[in-house]
A and B are shown apart, each in its own frame.
Chain A
Amino acid sequence: MRRMSRIPTSCSTVECFGSGRTRRGRVPFSRSGFGAVEALLAVGIGLGILTGVWWMVTSSGRVMERGQSTLESATQAEILFRHLNADLHTLVSGVDISPSIPQLHLSRHLLESGVIVDAEVSWSFHGGLAGSKIERTVKTARGEDVDRMCVGILDAFSIDPFPITTHPGTTVSVSLRAPKAPEKSLYQATIFHQNQILDPRWNPVSTN
């Protein structure tokens, strides 16, 4: 209680709450009119405010961590679908895609230094807690190039052909999550097969 008596108070405060004696400077706490009950109340309120702030900060931190995990999954899914989009929109005419889990093989056109070359692309999906990865291997006459994507855990995935044969396409869905995050994020897109490089149906400029 002695330490708390260092709280500076004004004369009017002392006059109002104290014993009536006017005194500038330090006033003993007991004389300022605050008893043990008030002190406990102040400490309780202070602790309550601190606890509330702590709870808000930690809960916001948890929500933010979940948000960051979702952001990471969304980014991963976007990278995946952008690559799939590029592959399935530049297919070599007449090549049929037969998705077989866990791999997807296709032949596509590729522009290398302004020259159109053919490439074989293989996608492989490996799920599970340990060693989750999605790999894209591109084979051209120059050699083989491997991209690995999917940071985190690939919980589930599916590759399905679009059911309407007049509009061939592939539906890919992936369920991703960060290693420590319980929430799974499901992403899905249907990509219709095209040959935007040579087929005049999608690339009228190619007829010129």
Chain B
Amino acid sequence: MAVLVVALVFVGSLGVIQGGVRGTADIHELTHAFQAARTVIDAVESFNYDDLTDESLRMLCTKLSFAPPTAQPILGKIQLLTYGTPGTGSWFRAKTVRVRVPWKRPDGSHDDVVLKGLVMEAR
């Protein structure tokens, strides 16, 4: 009976330990994915407004390398934003890009890191 009680206590606490193990094991893959996404966002922001196109960005990203086993980032289409203040002559326009980096948890499930980059002009 005593053995069973001890076993039950330990088995119960195992859940806590294993949760912690999964959490800390995730951080490696997540950090890789996050660094890859941030690198791509940096690449987006290295263009000026006029030069940033889907094709030019894709070409630049082929030159980037990432720490293995990071999956290749997936680039979204460039979205345009414009905003002007009537009567003042002030305007703002921007191109935004959504970058998604899939990453795999140690238990086999998948998740994504998603960041958005922005290049803008304003007056």
Footprint of B on A, CB under 8 Å? 46, 49-50, 53, 56-57, 60-61, 63-64, 66-68, 70-71, 74, 77-78, 81, 85, 162-164, 167, 169, 171, 173, 185-194, 201-202, 204-205
Contacts and interface: CB of A to CB of B under 8 A. Distances in A.
19 contacts: A49-B3, A53-B10, A53-B11, A56-B10, A57-B17, A63-B21, A64-B17, A67-B20, A67-B21, A68-B24, A81-B35, A167-B43, A185-B28, A187-B32, A189-B35, A191-B39, A194-B46, A201-B48, A205-B122
B43 A57 contact: no
Contact of B28 (A64, A70, A192): A70
Contact of B10 (A57, A64, A162, A190): A57
A194 B21 contact: no
How many B residues are at the interface, by size bracket?
A: 35 or more
A152 B120 CA distance: 41
Given A66-B25, A164-B63, A167-B46, 8 more contacts: A46-B3, A57-B17, A68-B24, A163-B63, A173-B67, A186-B67, A189-B38, A190-B65
Nearest to A174: B67
A57 B18 CA distance: 9
Interface string B104-123: 00000000000000001111
B25 A190 contact: no
Contacts of B24: 64, 67-68, 70-71
A50 B10 CA distance: 9
B60 interface: yes
Nearest to A201: B48
Interface string B31-53: 11001001100110111100000
A192 B43 contact: yes
Given A49-B7, A50-B7, A163-B63, A56 B14 contact: yes
Contact of B31 (A53, A56, A78): A78
B45 A53 contact: no
Contact of A188 (B35, B43, B46): B35
A192 B25 contact: no
A200 B27 CA distance: 37
B20 A202 contact: no
A22 to B, nearest CB: 24
A60 B14 contact: yes
Contacts of B18: 60
Contact of A50 (B6, B25, B27): B6
Closest 10 CB pairs of A and B: A67-B24, A192-B46, A46-B3, A204-B122, A188-B67, A74-B31, A53-B10, A60-B17, A167-B46, A190-B39
Contacts of A167: 43, 46-47, 60
Nearest to B7: A49
Nearest to A70: B28
Contacts of B60: 164, 167
Interface in B61-120: 63-68, 120
Contacts of A169: 42, 46
